[in-house]
């Protein structure tokens, strides 16, 4: 179903009125995690003013350590909904368990499936119960074929609204968090008709790398960027070191407008 051979045109996914793919860019921005209503609203207003068209914020967080901040859960989701109400930006947040699918179906505009769950096949099959678009992140060490097969699971279950997200893969390098695979953009766009967006924040794991790699991703033909933005990165409960301050995000989008169709 994802194969370009049987569907030559680019698929355009409609995320609550925001078109993604076929020359339309998804500019997804916001904090790694929702920390408070004030925090998420402040960041949402700033990224909207900068030109973002979708708001991200984690409520359920897949943390490596069980002792790290696990996210505010449903309470965090409510805060994100409040930020949507205030700014009008559709929201993107990660679903980790099918237990919450009905609530996400009702409230979330773009349901994120994280790298760690890319091959949670049972969860993928359940996504056919919703028509909400799915943002499928690439697994930590997934091949293109494995990633496409995961998209195929979602599509075969009845939901063809899938957006792929390259977020870096694990290599032998330890200086950066992951290694951004820019080749994934042209390859996945050749193999599939689905939109491909890039998350340079989780790829490099360093805020100062985001700018350069975001530009590189745009040059390579990405259909969008997912970027972590925090109003106070030094005090962030998660991923502060890779988060841009709102001013830096605004500056990046200003520069990207010269090379990409960003509103």
Residues in touch with ligand PEP (CB under 6 A): 32, 58, 62, 114-116, 137, 167, 202
Stretch near Mn ion under the rule CB under 5 A, chosen from 77-85, 156-164, 175-183, 233-241: 233-241
Question: Which residue has 């390579």 as its token pair?
Answer: 220
CA atoms within 13 A on the CB side of 82: 16
Nearer of residues 51 and 200 to ligand PEP, judged by Cβ: 200
- Select from 168, 11, 159, 4 the least CA-distant residue to 95: 159
CB-based closest residue to Mn ion: 32
261 burial level (CB within 10 Å; 0-12, 13-18, 19+): exposed
Cα torsion 10, 13, 19, 25 to 10°: value is -60
Among ligand PEP, Mn ion, none, the one that 30 touches (CB under a kind-dependent 5 to 8 A) is: none
Nearer of residues 113 and 260 to Mn ion, judged by Cβ: 113
CB-based closest residue to ligand PEP: 114
DSSP secondary structure letter of residue 111: E
Nearer of residues 56 and 84 to ligand PEP, judged by Cβ: 56
**3-class DSSP assignment, residue 82:** helix
* Minimum distance of Mn ion from residue 46's CB (angstroms): 18
Among Mn ion, ligand PEP, none, the one that 230 touches (CB under a kind-dependent 5 to 8 A) is: none
* Minimum distance of ligand PEP from residue 7's CB (angstroms): 26
- Select from 221, 180, 228 the least CA-distant residue to 204: 180
26-85 positions binding Mn ion, by CB under 5 A: 32
Q: Which residues bind Mn ion (CB under 5 A)?
A: 32, 239
């Amino acid at each position: 179903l994802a194969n370009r051979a049987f569907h030559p045109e680019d698929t355009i996914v409609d995320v609550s009125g925001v078109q993604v793919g076929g020359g339309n860019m998804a500019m997804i921005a916001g904090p790694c995690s929702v920390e408070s209503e004030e925090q998420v609203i402040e960041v949402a207003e700033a990224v909207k003013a900068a030109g973002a068209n979708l708001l991200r914020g984690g409520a359920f967080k897949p943390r490596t350590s069980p002792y790290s901040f696990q996210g505010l859960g449903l309470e965090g989701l409510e805060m994100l909904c409040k930020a949507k109400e205030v700014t009008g930006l559709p929201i993107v947040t990660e679903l980790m368990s099918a237990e919450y699918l009905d609530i996400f179906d009702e409230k979330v505009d773009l349901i994120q499936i994280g790298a760690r769950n890319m091959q949670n096949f049972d969860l993928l099959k359940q996504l056919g119960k919703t028509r909400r678009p799915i943002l499928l992140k690439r697994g930590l060490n997934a091949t293109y074929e494995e990633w496409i097969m995961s998209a195929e699971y979602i599509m075969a279950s009845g939901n063809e609204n899938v957006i792929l997200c390259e977020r870096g893969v694990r290599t032998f390098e330890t200086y950066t968090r992951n290694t951004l695979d820019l080749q994934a953009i042209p390859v996945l766009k050749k193999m599939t008709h689905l939109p491909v967006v890039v998350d340079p924040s989780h790829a490099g794991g360093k805020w100062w790398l985001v700018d350069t790699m975001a530009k590189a991703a745009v040059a390579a033909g990405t259909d969008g960027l997912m970027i972590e933005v925090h109003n106070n990165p030094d005090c962030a409960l998660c991923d502060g070191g890779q988060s841009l301050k709102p001013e830096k995000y605004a500056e990046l989008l200003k520069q990207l407008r010269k090379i990409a169709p960003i509103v």
